[in-house]
Structure 1
Amino acid sequence: MKKLLFLLLVSFGLQAQLSPQAEVSLITIAPGKDLYSVFGHSSIWIQDPANGIDRVYSYGTFDFDTEYFYWKFLKGTLPYTISVNSMQTILDYYGSVEHRTVNMQVLHLSLSEKNLIFNRLETNLLPENREYSYKFFYDNCATRIRDQVEAVSGKAYAWDAYKQIQGKSYRDWMNVYLNANSWEALGMNLALGVPANVTASASQSCYLPDNFFEATRLARRGGQPIADEPLALYQAPASTEAGFDWFGPFTLLTLLSLIALFFSWKSPRGTYAFDVVLYTVYGLLGLFLFFLAVGTDHIVMGWNPASLVLFPLQFPLVFWFAKNPAWKRYNQVMALLACVGFFWCLTESWTLVFPLLPILIRTISLAVRLKAVNNG
């Protein structure tokens, strides 16, 4: 009856009070294998034996059954929510199903601080507050937990002192978790624009759960740690690292660069079909990046220097220019833009050399060597 009354108070948004036996813990879940889970996950666990409370709060939850799911995901308008589960449910899923390590750090908070964070989380769970606009770098499962914990812990987090989680850009931190020779890493790095290259502060780097885990391990209040030493609630078995993927982007795009170099070295003539295919593919990719930059809510995809190489108008202009006297002059302009974009991109991620090099080679070759009016 006591537990039922407690939950009724919570469900009506009233200020329920935890008992002195209550504990608040930061839960950090190791990265998974799928792209949506590869950066890990953060949650808050509140347990109160006296009131029968066992609630793990997680932000960043989404529903695959949402109407127009993929379109909303692409546009950046997919609604994300806070959800709550029991710890056993969490361990069953992340431990038994996904085999990802689950670490717990019990936070040293006063009873009033525990109640404050509990009631804030419960207020977030109300139907009118549950949904929010997810931003990968700025507003995700880890940043929301960071904000909740920091709000009740005073000045326990001395962000300027945490050198080990600062000094990298948002993009660099992201790439720590990605296999460089993967299509996922290629796609994400191509899609990100200038905002992703901003150097993240220690607090901002906590968009990654592992970084907030480390910050909480280092946090002090009154000279004492704000949290217990981490305890593994589930320890995943050691996994073997995957070998080199010969069908990954490094291999295939290097091959494409060699083909472009061969055509460019042999002769700039007689390659109309190759140029049409190459410029069409890269033009369509450029159009997609342009859409991400200006047609979605993903602000980190704006001002993308890769668009100078993957010029959006390559398609359909190639069908007109490739057999037109202006084809060489067109490529001279494109070569200048491509060189600027290429070297700009390389200052941010060396992996971008692979997707950008084939079109750069061909554009420069046509700009320098093309003499014939008819490329056919």
Structure 2
Amino acid sequence: MIRTHLLKKRISILMASIAFLVLVMALPMVAWSQQTTETLPQTKRLSILICSPSTDVVYNRFGHAAIRLMDEDAGSDIIYNYGTFDNTIPNFEIRFMRGETDYYVEALPSAYYLNEFIQNGRGVTELVLNLSQEEISRVQTYLNRNIQPENRQYRYNFLYDNCATRLISIVKEATGGTLQIPDKGEERTWRELINGCCTDAPWVQLGIDMVIGSKADASATTEEQFFLPGRILDMLPHTTLLRPDGSASPLVMDTIELFSPLPFSTEPSEEGWPTPLAASIVLLALTIGIVVMDIHRRKICRLYDSIVMGIVGLSGCIIFAMVFFSVHPHTSPNYILFLLHPLHLLIGLPLTAIPRLRQAGFVYHFINFAELSLIGLVIWFLPQQVVMPLYVTGIAMWLLSARWILINKWRKNVR
């Protein structure tokens, strides 16, 4: 019995020793396994590049965005640019106005791409995305498929499918996730967002206010604001990526300013030109002087009226084309068309300029007077912002047509 007990005791000690030895040997392996998982080599890095705006051409005022993919294994550093277009194609300007512009993606070495912005004095900020290697690989597959000749072209849309929105869509598709963007109370309309890029160019702002309609006065959601690269730079570092498995993580893990932009002036850049408001006030003052003079001499200055009708009529033709022949979003409906319309050029101008058509000219100006009076009553209730220069221009046109009625004194012929 004693021997049996000692044997069992020795066997227990031996088993415990073996177990202890196995445990000691296994610990480094577990630690190594954990270390390998945690420090898995990150050979690929994906980031979004935000390029600052410039004033050399209108479309550069809104900035630019591109996607950068660095692959250490392949020894590559490529930037994919969805903002490339060919302005030498036939009727490019007309196609652009109609919203039928085709852009394409182009893959360029990063050094070559960035050098262009350095030479132009534009800053570049890199937003390094917090994605897994698998997610980055999916983006890489998508991009490489996109740059193939049969896939590289797409129908550009300034507000909903441009060089910036494409990048956000690619990230969401690769991760299958959604974006949780903090609401900082910065509710803005499409018009405010666009005009905010043209504070130094009041005539550009006026042109934009003329051709975009009432839909532009609706508020853009926080994600819709990403059509402007500057808004991506402002909000993406504070955005959370919610993945399908329920996990959440910051979308951006690092923000790097690669190059600082040269000073960007926000002062009016159109030297030698009055602002649109100043020009409209001059037009109104000149119109008042012409009206007073014409009433005093009971005769209409047809030359002045013809010039005004021609200018507003040409403007109306552009607005008419954008409303009825353009696929650009937010150009229709446009209530400015009731103020500036093609009929001023096609009908009003000849009826005003040709003396023997004075009776028909009186009828036209009577109708115009009645229309502008009605617009003046409801203009503040329209679902569209009417900027002050256009409002002042409308008053000037109203005075011209009122003068036709006063001089005629409701008779059929203008003396």
Whether these two folds match at TM > 0.5 is yes
Q: Which residue of 2 aligns with 1:358?
A: 393
- SS of the equivalent of 1:163 reads coil
How large is the Cα RMSD of the aligned pairs?
Answer: 2.5
2:356 is aligned with 1:329? no
Partner of 1:225: 250
4+ residue segments displaced more than 6 Å: none
- Residues 55 and 85 in structure 1, CA contact (< 8 A), matched pair in contact too: yes
Where 1:66 maps in the other structure, the secondary structure is coil
Q: For residue 121 of structure 1, what is the aligned residue in structure 2?
A: 143
- With over 3 angstroms needed to count, the CA separation of the structure-2 counterparts of 1:292 and 1:327, relative to structure 1, is closer
Residue 307 of structure 2 is matched in structure 1 by: 277
CA contact (8 A) 2:283 2:393 kept: yes
352-361 or 26-35, larger mean C-alpha shift: 352-361
Unmatched tracts of structure 1, length 5 or more: 1-18
1:288, distance to aligned residue in structure 2 (A): 1.9
TM-score (norm. length: structure 1):
0.85
| Larger-Rg structure | 2
Q: Which of 241, 244, 262 is equivalent to 2:289?
A: 262
Aligned residue in 2 for 1:212: 232
1:110 aligns with 2:165: no
SS of structure 2 residue aligned to 1:56? strand
TM-superposition CA deviations, 1:100-158 (whole Å, max 9, x none): 11000111111110011111112221222211111111111111111112233454621
Could you say which residue in structure 2 is the equivalent of 1:9? none
Matched AA of 1:192: I
Secondary structure of the residue aligned to 2:342 is coil
Query: Cα distance 1:196–1:135, how it changes in 2: closer, same or farther (>3 A)?
Result: same
**Could you tell me how far 1:170 is from its partner in structure 2?**
1.0
Kept after mapping to 1: 8 A contact 2:47/2:129 = yes
Task: Say if 2:236 is the partner of 1:236.
Answer: no
Does structure 1 conserve the Cα–Cα contact (< 8 Å) formed by 2:45 and 2:128? Answer: yes
Alignment deviations for residues 136-188 of structure 1 (CA, whole Å, 9 cap, x no partner): 111111111111122334546213x3335x51111111111112652211111
Counterpart for residue 5 of structure 1: none
Which residue is equivalent to 1:152? 174
**Aligned equivalents of 1:23 and 1:331: distance in 2?**
63
Whole-angstrom distance in 2 between the partners of 1:241 and 1:21? 42
Deviations 1:183-204 (A, max 9, x none): 2111111011122222110011
Q: Does 1:163 align with 2:199?
A: no
Residue among 200, 213, 223 paired with 1:203: 223
Percent identity between matched residues is 22
Aligned residues of 1:79 and 1:134 also touching (Cα < 8 A) = yes
Ranges in structure 2 where 5+ consecutive residues have no aligned partner:
1-40, 242-246
Q: 1:375 to 1:138 in 2, by over 3 A?
A: farther
The offset of 1:239, in angstroms, is 4.0
Residues 238 and 180 (structure 1), Cα distance of their counterparts in 2 relative to 1, 3 Å cut: closer
Aligned-residue offset at 1:264: 3.0
CA distance in 2, matches of 1:356, 1:312: 18
Match of 1:370 among 399, 406, 410: 406
Letter in 1 for 2:366: R
| Distance (whole Å) between structure 2 residues aligned to residue 214 and residue 272 of structure 1 | 54
Q: 2:100 aligns with which of 77, 81, 85?
A: 77
* Separation in 1, partners of 2:327, 2:377: 26
TM-score (norm: length of structure 2)? 0.78
Residue of structure 1 aligned with 2:319, choices 289, 292, 297: 289
Counterpart residue number, 2:84: 61
Aligned residue in 1 for 2:14: none
TM-fit CA distance, 1:311: 2.6
Letter matched to residue 66 of structure 1: I
Cα distance in 2 between the residues matched to 1:85 and 1:142: 17
Q: Distance in 1 between matches of 2:352 and 2:306?
A: 10
* Pair 1:240–1:279, CA change in 2 (3 A): closer
Distance in 1, matches of 2:370 and 2:278, equals 29
In structure 1, C-alpha distance between the alignment counterparts of 2:388 and 2:307, rounded to whole Å: 20
Q: Which secondary structure state, in structure 2, belongs to the residue aligned with residue 60 of structure 1?
A: strand
For 1:129 and 1:340, the matched residues in 2 are separated by 52
Check the 8 A contact 2:217/2:385 in 1, yes or no. Answer: no
Secondary structure, in 3 states, of the residue corresponding to 1:296? coil
